[in-house]
């Protein structure tokens, strides 16, 4: 019995040993597997971290490179060439402020970097970002250059500068005790006339525009100015004087009276100095103390009839700038006088419409026709309908609550340049927009069928 018990005990012990051995082998195998898995995990983790670090380094390098490219492009964009020209906007300071009349102020603009400034063709303009208080962004406006370079001795500025002369736009209303007789409505022009001071900073694009005097032509010149339209004519007269040109120049200048007569002393002086320059000032509403033959020569308007009375023939190059009624009347009068369109040059800022009567414009291809085309404003999420009631795409989008940047509204400043995502646009005859095919100047463009704009 004891021997049998011993046998069972030995068998039990052997079985336990076998089980323990098996458990040991399984545990060892499991530990080996875990260790292997851990090594693989650590290796994978290490490789992943290395890949992440590599990606980060590449992104940083790319970012630095891109930043360098952007910075380089920014510097190149704002760099000043040897001739003083530049791309984009450049910072200027107001170096001098002069009142020409009660509603016309001249600003003398000096480059903040002290470098040279670009020369300009007589008649061209500057595009300014006017920092009007209360506006979320500067107001873009175009103003003709009334002189430039170093020709500003009266300003006390020794270095190069530009001069612009700006008239405050006002509406006349009956005077009452509650309000004055005049209410200012030109946001930028009123700010310039009332608030701009010496030292103020203004961002400016280089001189541009397609309106300038042809200095190579020997043909005699007639300058037609209405109101503040005198400013580009001043730069033309200055160039005539500076170049010593003997071309015959006749200026017809129309204003209300002596209170509005800007640059009167300068015009009298240059006419007395240069025998080939003649100035005919016209007052439509002379004041009681305005003397005919002294301040003005003609009591009345600058009109086609006056031109025919004074000029021996129509063989002149005509340059005109002024308010819309002034421009329309004279343009049509010159056409009726059989002056070729190639000899009629004009500058129009704002909604001035020149060139053709409305009845004639409807025959210009698709321009002004009676189609109703969809115009999609992609960023605004709007689709609006074009009709001939609008003069331009800019007028259409503004009527529908979208207000993009704009300045001259005559296709000159480029401020309203907009991406043309799809479709085609057309421009009035004689207008040559300076932009790429994938963009358009919406202030003078009209759709030729459905279009999509990046607005």
Res 151 pLDDT > 70: no
Identify the bridge partners of residue 282 per DSSP, sorted by sequence position.
Answer: 254, 298
Instruction: For residue 204, count CB atoms less than 10 angstroms from its CB and return exposed for 0-12, middle for 13-18, buried for 19 or more.
Output: buried
pLDDT value, residue 12: 62
The predicted-structure confidence for 356-404, as pLDDT tens digits, reads as follows 444 344 444 444 445 688 999 999 999 999 987 888 899 899 889 898 8
Per-residue CA distances from 278 to 170, 214, 252, 271 (Å): 31, 19, 9, 6
For 26-155, strand residue ranges (E) read 89-101, 104-111, 125-130, 139-147
The predicted-structure confidence for 314-368, as pLDDT tens digits, reads as follows 999 999 999 888 999 999 999 999 999 999 999 875 544 464 444 344 444 444 4
Please tell me whether residue 179 adopts helix, strand or coil conformation: coil
- 448 versus 58: the higher-pLDDT residue is 448
**Which has the closest alpha carbon to 193: 262, 265, 116, 110?**
262
pLDDT value, residue 59: 45
Q: Of the ranges 34-43, 141-150, 402-411, which one carries the lowest mean pLDDT score? A: 34-43
Contact 325, 303 (CB under 8 A): no
pLDDT value, residue 435: 80
Average pLDDT (131-138) is: 88
Average pLDDT (411-433) is: 83
Contact 76, 86 (CB under 8 A): no
Measured distance CA(89)–CA(84) in Å, rounded: 13
Res 65 pLDDT > 50: no
Task: List CB contacts of 201: < 8 A, sequence separation 6 or more.
Answer: 91, 92, 93, 94, 112, 131
Contact 181, 268 (CB under 8 A): no
Measured distance CA(430)–CA(443) in Å, rounded: 15
The predicted-structure confidence for 204-256, as pLDDT tens digits, reads as follows 999 988 899 999 999 999 999 999 999 999 999 999 999 999 999 999 999 99
Using DSSP bridges, classify how beta strands 417-422 and 446-447 pair: parallel, antiparallel or unpaired.
unpaired
Please tell me whether residue 313 adopts helix, strand or coil conformation: coil
Res 53 pLDDT > 60: no
Q: What are phi and psi of 225, to 5 degrees?
A: -125, 135
Q: Of the ranges 163-167, 205-209, 284-288, which one carries the lowest mean pLDDT score? A: 205-209
Domains of the chain plus CATH, in order, are 89-205 (2.40.30.10), 221-355 (3.40.50.80), 362-453 (3.10.20.30)
221's enclosing H/E stretch is strand 221-226
Interior/surface letters 216-245, b for 16+ CB within 10 angstroms, e for the rest: eeeeebbbbbbbbbbbbbbbbbbbbeeeeb
pLDDT value, residue 140: 87
Per-residue CA distances from 274 to 13, 238, 351 (Å): 134, 11, 36
Continuous H helices in 79-154: none
């Amino acid at each position: 019995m004891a021997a049998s018990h011993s046998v069972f005990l030995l068998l039990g012990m052997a079985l336990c040993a076998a089980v323990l051995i098996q458990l040991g082998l399984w545990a060892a195998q499991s530990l080996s597997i875990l260790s292997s898995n851990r090594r693989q995990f650590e290796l994978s983790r290490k490789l992943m971290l290395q890949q992440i670090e590599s990606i980060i380094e590449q992104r940083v390098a790319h970012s630095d490179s891109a930043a360098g490219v952007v910075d380089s492009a920014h510097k190149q964009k704002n760099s000043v060439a040897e001739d003083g020209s530049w791309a984009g906007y450049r910072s200027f300071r107001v170096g001098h402020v002069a009142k020409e009349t009660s509603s016309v102020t001249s600003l003398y603009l000096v480059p903040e970097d002290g470098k040279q400034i670009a020369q300009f063709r007589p008649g061209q303009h500057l595009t300014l970002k006017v920092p009007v208080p209360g506006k979320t962004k500067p107001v873009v406006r175009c103003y003709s250059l009334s002189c430039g370079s170093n020709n500003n001795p009266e300003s006390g500025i020794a270095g190069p500068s530009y001069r612009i002369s700006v008239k405050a736009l006002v509406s006349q209303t009956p005077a009452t005790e509650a309000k004055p007789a005049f209410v200012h409505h030109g946001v930028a022009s009123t700010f310039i006339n009332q608030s701009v001071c010496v030292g103020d900073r203004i961002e400016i694009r280089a001189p541009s525009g397609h309106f300038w005097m042809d200095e190579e032509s020997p043909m005699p010149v007639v300058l037609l100015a209405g109101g503040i339209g005198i400013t580009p004519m001043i730069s033309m007269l200055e160039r005539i004087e500076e170049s010593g040109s003997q071309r015959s120049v006749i200026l017809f200048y129309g204003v209300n009276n002596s209170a509005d007569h800007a640059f009167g002393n300068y015009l009298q002086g240059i006419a007395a100095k240069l025998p080939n320059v003649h100035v005919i000032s016209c007052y439509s509403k002379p004041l009681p103390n305005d003397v005919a033959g002294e301040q003005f020569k003609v009591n009345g308007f600058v009109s086609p009839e006056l031109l025919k009375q004074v000029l021996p023939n129509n063989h002149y190059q005509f340059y005109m700038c002024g308010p819309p009624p002034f421009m329309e009347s004279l343009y049509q009068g010159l056409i009726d006088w059989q002056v070729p369109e190639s000899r009629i040059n004009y500058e129009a800022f704002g909604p001035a419409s020149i060139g053709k009567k409305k009845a004639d414009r409807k025959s210009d291809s698709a321009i002004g026709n009676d189609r109703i085309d969809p115009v999609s404003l992609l960023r605004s999420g709007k689709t609006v309908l074009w009709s001939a009631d609008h003069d331009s795409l800019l007028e259409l989008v503004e009527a529908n609550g979208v207000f993009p940047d704009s300045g001259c509204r005559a296709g000159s400043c480029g401020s309203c340049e907009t991406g043309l995502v799809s479709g085609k646009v057309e421009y009035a005859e004689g207008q040559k927009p300076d932009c790429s095919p994938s963009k358009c100047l919406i202030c003078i463009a009209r759709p030729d069928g459905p279009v999509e704009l990046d607005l």
